[in-house]
Amino acid sequence: MSVDYILNGQGYGNVAAQLMSCNFDAGALRPFIGNDKRSYISLQDGKNDDGGPKYRTVPLANAAANLLREEWKYIDLAVIEAATPRLRAWSDLRGSSGALTIPQGMGKTVVESSRVKDITPAKVSMDSLAQADMDVPGGDTIGVPLPIIHKDFRFSARQLAVSRNGQLPLDTTAASMAARKVAEEIEQMTIGIGAGAGFEFAGYQIQGYTGFSDRLTYDISNPTLGGWDPMTLVKEVIAMRKAAEDVGFYGPFKMYVSADWSAILDEDYKQGTSTSSATTIRQRIMSIDNISGITTLDYLSGFQILLVQLTPDVARAIVGMDLTTLQWEQQGGMEIRLKVMAIMVPQLRADFYNGTGIVHGMPSHNS
Using alpha carbons, list the distances in angstroms from residue 19 to 32, 147, 231, 254, 345: 16, 16, 57, 39, 21
User: What class does CATH assign to 209-314+352-363?
Assistant: alpha beta
Domain ranges of the chain: 1-30+32-65, 209-314+352-363
- Burial (0-12, 13-18, 19+ Cβ within 10 Å), 269: buried
CA 313, chain centre distance (Å) = 16
Q: What is the pLDDT along the chain (367 residues), one digit of tens a residue?
A: 333 434 444 443 455 556 666 667 777 788 888 888 888 888 877 777 766 677 788 887 766 788 888 888 989 999 999 998 889 999 999 998 778 998 878 888 899 888 767 777 777 777 655 666 666 556 678 889 999 999 999 888 787 777 777 666 778 889 999 999 999 999 999 999 988 888 998 899 999 999 999 999 999 999 998 889 999 999 999 999 999 999 999 999 999 999 999 989 999 887 655 555 678 999 999 999 999 999 999 999 999 999 999 999 999 999 999 999 998 877 666 778 899 999 999 999 998 889 999 999 999 754 4
